[in-house]
Amino acid sequence: MRPDLVPVFDGHNDTLLKLELGAGTARERSFLARADRDHIDLPRAREGGFAGGLFAMYVPSRTGLDLTVRYNPSDPANFAPVAQDVALGFTLRMAARARRIEREAEGAVAICTDVPGIRKAMADDALAMVLHIEGAEAIDPDFCALEVLHSAGLRSLGPVWSRPNVFGDGVPMACPSSPDTGPGLSDTGKALIRACNELRVMIDLSHLTEKGFWDVAEISDRPLVASHSNAHAVCPSSRNLTDRQLDAMAESKGLAGLNFHVAFLRPDGAHKGDTPLEIMVRHTDHMLSRLGEDGVALGSDFDGCFVPRAIGDVAGLPRLIEAFRSAGYGEELIEKIAWRNWLSVLERTWA
């Protein structure tokens, strides 16, 4: 990575999913080679200062999703439940893909399970990859799969995506809408939170209903973290966090990662690529006002969202850093948002 770039440790991407869905099709690509589509590969990561992040293992409702067809967030088929055996098989394929990437990268990529490992990867100019589950459909009610996946490197988990499962309910992709859209965690979901606390697996609050958020806040003894969610006060999407939620996260010394999806950034919730970086700064300003300078980070959702054209892909991260500078953010605050805050909250969570 170029020494003039601010390194970025990012809270969320769907790159493993994109690679898995593209396998065996005309859209197959290698993570290690530069591509002219999608958002993250190793060459573009180096160009943009992307030092690593949480790599999601998300199982779509249709595991044979056609990447040549534009994703329709209004199609109910994209939010249908997924059986546990199907989800586990697909999750194992993504975990295996991550391991193959690490092996084939020959030192340029490292799967990390603790903060010293992340720091070492960054010092060695290797991309630090932390395995995360987005939507816990792969986990059985007895948590056998959780134990095995943890031993394979899993260190972060979101109980739900934007659909119901045995653990709880997720919010729809709605704007304007409150995040209070349905029930909270089931009894099995509450047990999952306790099991993750015991294993020191970080709980990700993004996609949870507001009732589910408060269930986690009551049960968990770890910082409250939403890896890729924005400020509801700026964009009234059900996927964003209310001031009351942000205040609870601040009290727990938790963190929110700024999501780059235009429909979660824009006050009108529109899917428009000309969304200006100033709106991203506005969300960051608001989250800083509630969470403090130690509680805001980045959670791009690269390879899983519609990114502002001003950023484009991971190589465009320096343009967001420059937008922070133009807004008057000092270099220490920028470094906290870009990577230091993620490492700090992971240290507190995994300790």
Q: Which two tokens stand for residue 183?
A: 């029930």
In DSSP terms, which residues pair with 54 in a beta bridge?
Answer: 130
Q: Supply the DSSP symbol for 309.
A: T
With b for 16 or more beta-carbon neighbours within 10 A and e for fewer, the 150-166 pattern comes to beebbbbbbbbbbbbbb
Chunked into runs of 10 residues, the chain (351 residues) has average pLDDT values of 91 98 94 97 98 98 75 84 97 98 99 99 99 99 99 99 98 97 98 99 99 99 99 99 99 99 98 98 99 99 98 99 99 99 99 93
Q: Which of 232, 243, 291 has its CA nearest to residue 265?
A: 232
List Cβ neighbours of 297 (8 Å cut-off, separation of 6 or more): 9, 11, 255, 256, 257, 258, 336, 337, 338, 339, 341, 342, 345
The verdict on domain 8-350 having CATH code 3.20.20.140 is yes
Predicted confidence (pLDDT) per residue in 233-288, tens digit = 999 999 999 999 999 999 999 999 999 999 999 999 999 999 999 999 999 999 99
Q: Which two tokens stand for residue 351?
A: 């300790």
- Extents of the domains making up the chain: 8-350
Residue 214 buriedness (CB in 10 A; 0-12 / 13-18 / 19+): middle
In DSSP terms, which residues pair with 170 in a beta bridge?
Answer: 208
